[in-house]
């Protein structure tokens, strides 16, 4: 199988970056995060891209970054929470080992709260979260080869569960 050893998907704030780093350490491979790639490539934050250009432009930039990382990276790859909205991206994930880190809505609200750095949650986080989860849960499940629930677990425990699921 070419491409990353493992791809992490799941909602914002679920711990993809933290768990991804732990997983990479334990597997002895590199870690990459498409949000970081986008910010480095654009020289501005994701929040700034949303404000300056709107979500559709961000999604186009994200799609390119995700496709590039899927070809270039062979370690652990964490994707931004909305990357799976794109049909071509979901198709590309078809041949990959994909771990979906899941959490329930109340846990999501508790972990992220009102979050200005995350443009999709800047107003009424509980309502936004419900809508986001309803729209996306089935997409995460569609691409996942394993589902690891994170509620009530530490990042170390989640990383171990993800390792066990590989
Ligand atoms: C988004 C998730 C964020 C980031 C952007 C949009 C989303 O990534 O890409 O704010 O649509 O869920 P994280 O999941 O890494 O926070």
Q: For the chain, what is the radius of gyration of the CA atoms?
A: 15
Q: What is the pLDDT of residue 126?
A: 84
| Residue 13 annotated as part of some ligand binding site | yes
| Residue 26 annotated as part of some ligand binding site | no
pLDDT per residue as tens digits for the range 76-94: 999 999 999 999 999 999 9
Kindly give the distance from the C-alpha atom of residue 12 to the centroid of ligand 1, in angstroms, as a whole number: 5
Q: What's the CA gap between 6 and 125, in Å, rounded?
A: 30
Is residue 115 over pLDDT 70? Answer: no
Kindly give the distance from the C-alpha atom of residue 125 to the centroid of ligand 1, in angstroms, as a whole number: 14
Domains observed in the chain: 6-160 (3.40.50.300)
Q: What is the pLDDT of residue 138?
A: 97
Q: Quick one: which atom of ligand 1 is closest to the CA of 119?
A: 10
Return the residue whose CA atom lies nearest to atom 4 of ligand 1: 80
In this predicted complex, what is the ipTM? 0.97
């Amino acid at each position: 199988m070419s491409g990353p050893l493992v791809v992490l998907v799941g909602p914002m704030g679920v711990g993809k970056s933290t768990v991804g780093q732990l997983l990479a350490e334990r597997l002895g491979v590199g870690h990459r995060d498409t949000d970081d790639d986008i910010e480095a490539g654009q020289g501005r934050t994701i929040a700034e891209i949303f404000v300056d250009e709107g979500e559709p432009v961000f999604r186009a930039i994200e799609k390119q970054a995700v496709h590039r990382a899927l070809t270039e990276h062979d370690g652990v790859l964490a994707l931004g929470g909305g990357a799976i909205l794109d049909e071509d991206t979901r198709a590309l994930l078809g041949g990959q080992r994909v771990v979906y880190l899941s959490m329930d809505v109340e846990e999501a609200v508790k972990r992220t709260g009102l979050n200005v750095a995350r443009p999709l949650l800047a107003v009424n986080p509980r309502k936004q979260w419900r809508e986001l989860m309803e729209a996306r849960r089935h997409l995460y499940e569609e691409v996942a080869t394993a589902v690891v629930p994170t509620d009530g677990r530490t990042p170390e425990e989640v990383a171990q569960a993800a390792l066990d699921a590989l």
